[in-house]
Amino acid sequence: MRFVAFLTPLALSLSLTTGVAIAGTTPGPLDFTVLRNGEAVGAHHLRFQPTSDNGLQVSVDTNVVVKMAMIPVYRFEHHGHETWKDGRLVALASETNDDGTHHVLKVDGGDGGLSVNGDGKTARLAETLPASLWNDETVKQSTLLNTLDGHAMAVRIADLGADRVAVGNHMVAAHHYAMTGDLSRELWYDASGTLVQVRFKAKDDSDIQYVLR
């Protein structure tokens, strides 16, 4: 049963500078509960570590297990590491187990582009952002890098305006966006640019939600 791949994940006319660099701050750890039709099925964790050379290390870990009658019917495990320098992606590595389908990705940035080796296939792509979604500049892009196998995904973004979402046991103001195209996601970022919620339909039409704890 294949139901979810969160991180499936241009000639860029917009800045690739991250919201973190603009704000001059580093986000704290972000821990999301993954819900399927309202039931907790896993967790998604983001960790951020600034470096002394104006860089940022970002780790991404997702673990999902869907069970029916207490029997696991689907597993998704993703472990990624991003390296940023001066607001630009300079390296990315990830390993993924999508219910038995394994992906290995290595990306190196530089010279205005990305050198990609995904599942043993190499490519050269225009500079863009990875589809890890934590960066609020994501909503200004027309292409994103798939963080499982490294292919480029064309996306369109609609601004749905101000909203309020639950974070822990309280409501917070957030801005709501809808992403369509090769990757379909609804995204909410708070006033600081922090990702606070993600929602989308899985392949089996179930409702998947990433809710910040």
Q: Does an H or E element contain 22, and which?
A: helix 19-23
User: Any idea what DSSP says for residue 183?
Assistant: S
d(CA 141, CA 156): 8
| CA–CA distances in Å: residue 147 to residues 80, 116, 118, 174 | 8, 10, 9, 25
The pLDDT assigned to 25 comes to 62
Query: Would you kindly state where each structural domain of the chain is located, as residue ranges?
Result: 19-212
SS percent in the chain: helix, strand, coil, step 5: 5, 60, 35
| β-strands 143-145, 129-130 pairing | parallel
The reported pLDDT for the residue numbered 50 is: 95
| One pLDDT digit (tens) per residue for the chain, 213 residues | 444 444 333 222 223 344 444 345 677 899 999 999 999 999 999 999 999 988 999 999 999 999 998 999 999 999 999 999 998 999 999 999 999 999 999 999 988 899 999 999 999 999 999 999 999 999 999 999 999 999 999 999 999 999 999 999 999 999 999 999 999 999 999 999 999 999 999 999 999 999 999
What is residue 2's predicted lDDT score, i.e. its pLDDT? 46
Give the closest residue to 86 by CA, choosing from 16, 31, 184, 27. 16
Which pLDDT value is given to residue 139? 98
pLDDT of 15: 32
Q: How far apart are CA 13 and CA 152, in angstroms?
A: 16
Q: Which two tokens stand for residue 17?
A: 């500078």
